[in-house]
A and B are shown apart, each in its own frame.
Chain A
Amino acid sequence: MSTARNIELLAVALCVIALGVGVVYMTTQIAVPPTYAKVGPTIFPYTVGAALIGLGAFLFRDAFAGSWSCEVNDEEAQKPDLAPMLWVIAGLAINLVLIAYVGFIIASTAMFVLVAKAFGSRRLWLAAIVGFVLALLAYFGFARVLDLRMGSGLIEDLF
């Protein structure tokens, strides 16, 4: 039971190590002006990379020894409920795809509906209305009060 789950934690530790290696590699690509050779822009990145590798190793040891307690190996914690999460992620994705084309208000209304669906909303038409009004209010709150240009869009251009 717990062996299968420990693999997940071992993978996390390996990811941290891999990130550290990536950081160190990328740091070697930073050109250092000779005048800064001693305390140049690479000292901190190297330290950060090395620290990630070291901490990743410690994490690996914790995962291996089973001393890393979190919800993954907590017998009482239930597994994450995937369906609602996927609805949320779908909402985020649709916003990303649409926002540049139809503007914040419509894209975010679409996201609102999908996220409301994720959290068990049944009357999606009502969620759409609530989301639209909220997006409109948020848009004008931000755009007008803070005088920020919020970009254009189908609804935004009507005003």
Chain B
Amino acid sequence: MDSFVSLANGFAVALTPVNLMWGLIGVTLGTFVGVLPGLGPALTIAMLLPITFQVEPTAAFILFAGIYFGAMFGGSTTSILINTPGESATIVTALEGHQMAKRGRGGPALATAAIGSFVAGTLGVVGITLLAPIIVKFALTFAPADYFALMLLAFVTVSAVLGSSMVRGLTALVLGLLIGLVGVDLQTGQARFAFGQMALLDGIDVVIICVGLFAVGETLHLASRYRAGKDEIIPIKGSLWMTKQDWARSWKPWLRGAFIGFPIGAMPAGGAEIPTFLSYFTEKKLSKHQEEFGKGAIEGVAGPEAANNASAAGVFVPLLTLGLPTSATAAIMLSAFQSYGINPGPQLLVSQPDLVWGLIASLYIGNILLLVLNLPLVGLWVQVLKIPTPYLYAGILLFATIGTYGISQSVFDLALLYAIGIVGFFMRRYDFPTSPVIIGMILGPFAEQQFRRAMTISQGDLSVFYTRPISATLITISVLALVVPLVLGLLRNRKPASVST
């Protein structure tokens, strides 16, 4: 029960007026960008990274956590009211939620999403509190080889297993790894891929890559197609509150969603897509109102939203205990830790208890703030969608510019930002995922460090990776995750051929 005492301390940290204010700012800002189509938490946190020069770590992470959860709330609002899911995790919410809105039940859809997120967030925080110390205990026995194997597994799962194409996911990941290699090698002092440019010796800032891909690339993408069609905002009619029947139909999906979402989020694979889809199909199967699915079944909003939020809370388990980010947002947070000179990992819970438990407590407080503030204010948030498109995207590019040029005042960085934006546009066009780029560039240097450390300890003997049980197991899983789908694909291709001959 030690961890609950620590959590209580965390609440004491998070509930100081200053930190509460940061949480409030984060939640508001997060909801704002979440509501806007095309903007997300990873981009917002990346643009706010310079704040780490000014503000103490606890406050900064409370702000970031607020943005993270606020953006999710905002994202579900957008997908319910205008059916443009900003990210893959809210696709499912749009399925039923938008239908509900069309039938004049937008209010209850938003309410069940918000309350479900709150319930799932609560369970998620309890989950982190219980799970984190156990994983830390386990992780303290990890040798560099095991860490490397763990990162390998994360690489494979975030890029190859999730997403539409394994090859394109891996290509995006390797591109990220390559970006992570640029600059001076810390062990030998050798410059790598710097092209003799002073500006590249320190490596490429993650802000440039993140803002380039997510802001500049997205703006170019939208510019290429905005004339094609206009999304319609469905006004919220009738009561915002859920009826007795809505409650009765929602509470079980919330709980089930949370129990599906948290474990999947906490695994080193991460990703919110799988839990939301799993929850949706579970609810569809268990519902007594199956005929309503596809026409606005409240269970289909309640479950996936809870799953989404719980998995988002789960992502903090590998991030805080292992230093392993499994989403683009988590990767940006890892680089925020770096800019404070903090190395997330099993030591963090002991060396920075205020930071960790304050952060976990603020996740919870963020959920309460969202529930209390945003649900009644949803009408206000909908107004955000009425910002004229030209000003919105011109404004995004303006902030993207200040977010990078403001730090370095380097025209070179600005050119790099815009170039990455154009790459981002083409990645979108050819359906390459972008999150693996961010994860690869942040986690790549850590993986290399652990690999070389392991090889130095073993004096260049590769067998460390398959003689240690933990590392061997993790590497086996990674290889299987790559090979099994390939083999299945081959079998599937062969079958129709053999039938036809």
Are B397 and A111 in contact (CB-based, < 8 A)?
A: yes
Measured between beta carbons, the chain B residues less than 8 angstroms from A19 are 178
Decide if the interface of chain A is mainly helix, strand, loop or mixed.
helix
A-facing residues in B153-184 (Cβ within 8 Å): 164-165, 167-168, 170-171, 174-175, 177-178, 181
Are A115 and B394 in contact (CB-based, < 8 A)?
A: yes
Measured between beta carbons, the chain A residues less than 8 angstroms from B444 are 44
Within 8 Å of chain B (Cβ to Cβ): is A21?
Answer: no
Task: Select A87's contact among B188, B223, B395, B414, beta carbons within 8 Å.
Answer: B223
Interface size class of A (residues with CB under 8 A): 35 or more
Cα distance, A56 to B430, chains bound together (Å)? 13
Within 8 Å of chain B (Cβ to Cβ): is A100?
Answer: yes
Decide if the interface of chain B is mainly helix, strand, loop or mixed.
helix
Contacts A91-B397, A108-B398, A120-B389 known; A52 to B174 CB distance under 8 Å? yes
Contacts A81-B224, A99-B414 known; A39 to B455 CB distance under 8 Å? yes
Contacts A48-B178, A147-B54 known; A30 to B192 CB distance under 8 Å? yes
Within 8 Å of chain A (Cβ to Cβ): is B456?
Answer: yes
Cα distance, A89 to B418, chains bound together (Å)? 9
Are A116 and B390 in contact (CB-based, < 8 A)?
A: yes
Interface bits A28-47 vs B (CB < 8 Å: 1, else 0): 00111100101111011100
CB distance from B339 to the nearest CB of A (A): 13
Within 8 Å of chain A (Cβ to Cβ): is B31?
Answer: no
A-facing residues in B4-55 (Cβ within 8 Å): 50-51, 53-54
Are A88 and B460 in contact (CB-based, < 8 A)?
A: no
Stretch of B87-95, B368-376, B401-409 lying at the A interface:
B401-409
Cα distance, A134 to B327, chains bound together (Å)? 31
Within 8 Å of chain A (Cβ to Cβ): is B388?
Answer: yes
A-facing residues in B109-130 (Cβ within 8 Å): none
Told that A56-B171, A150-B406 touch, could you supply 12 new A-B pairs with CB distance under 8 A?
Answer: A36-B187, A41-B185, A51-B170, A82-B224, A88-B220, A91-B394, A112-B398, A116-B393, A119-B226, A121-B388, A134-B398, A135-B398
Chain A: residues with CB nearer than 8 A to chain B?
Answer: 9, 12, 16, 19, 23, 26-27, 30-33, 36, 38-41, 43-45, 48, 51-52, 55-56, 58-59, 62, 68-72, 78, 80-82, 84-85, 87-89, 91-92, 95-96, 99-100, 104, 108, 111-113, 115-121, 127, 130-131, 134-135, 138-139, 142-143, 145-151
